[in-house]
Amino acid sequence: MKIISYNVNGIRAAIKKGFIEWLKEENPDIICIQETKAHKEQLDIGVFTELGYHQYWFSAQKKGYSSVAIFTKIEPNNIEYGIDIKKYDDEGRFLRADFKDFTLINSYFPSGTAGGPRQDYKMEYLADVQKYTNELQKTQKNIILCGDYNICHKEIDINNPKNKKGVSGFLPEEREWVTNFLESGFVDSFRMFDDSAEKYSWWSYRANSRPRNVGWRIDYHMVSNALKDRITNAYIMPEVHHSDHCPVTVELKLEK
């Protein structure tokens, strides 16, 4: 089973850049999208149905902002919209799909780059996601939490880390949260296969960052330890250009 996570930074803009044609060719079993920046009524979703996908959209109340979606060729047994905390759910940040063999969570984590209250909001979200997964693990051992975490975990995950001290996305408390989250029962699937530097999933639009590969690795598939032995591959797709992010992929042996 191939599962892709992709922050498209506006699905309507991505479609204009060839997203649908790429999706048809790539043909993942499931794709989790962050920052759709749209309500499904604002575009022709029939094109995804034609590709064989069941669609689940969880959009922010504010149009053109945040929002996540899951497109899956395997119909889930259950869908949970949101984390049941209004301040996050109003921004469309969390979508869960339960399948026969596993639970998949797609999340767009807050960025915190505005500082102040938004950084506080980000840290509160991190704490509440940890509480949620701790509780979920009591009944479900097979969990995948994918999405744009807006955090680089280690120095290897960011270009020129010495210059990023004090920057949201690389703060000590954010990085510590990732460490603690992994220790709570998860593995960073990409690092199981690739421990090299300069492997990024996001590049600023400024200063010609992407051609120079001045980037951050902030998009992840965190997979529960119970599924670790069933991961067959995980990789980043920097050659795909519909967004300032690129897709990240994990492949597992799972029952459909």
Confidence category of residue 255, pLDDT binned at 50, 70, 90: confident
User: For 49-95, what is each residue's pLDDT tens digit?
Assistant: 999 999 999 999 999 999 999 999 999 999 999 999 999 999 999 99
pLDDT tens-digit map of 100-113: 999 999 999 999 98
Q: Which domains are assigned to the chain? A: 2-252 (3.60.10.10)
Residue 18 to residues 6, 23, 143, 173, 210, Cα–Cα distance (Å): 14, 9, 31, 38, 19
Catalytic residue status for 148: yes
Q: Among candidates 49, 96, 57, 53, which has minimal Cα distance to 77? A: 96
| Nearest alpha-carbon partner for 37 in 106, 91, 101 | 91
Taking 80 as the threshold, does the pLDDT of residue 256 lie above it? no
**What predicted TM-score, i.e. pTM, was given to this entire model?**
0.98
Candidate list 29, 148, 157, 188, residue with the active-site label: 148
Across the range 189-209, mean pLDDT stands at 97
Residue-level pLDDT at 174: 98
Q: Does the CA dihedral 82-203-241-151 come out positive or negative?
A: negative
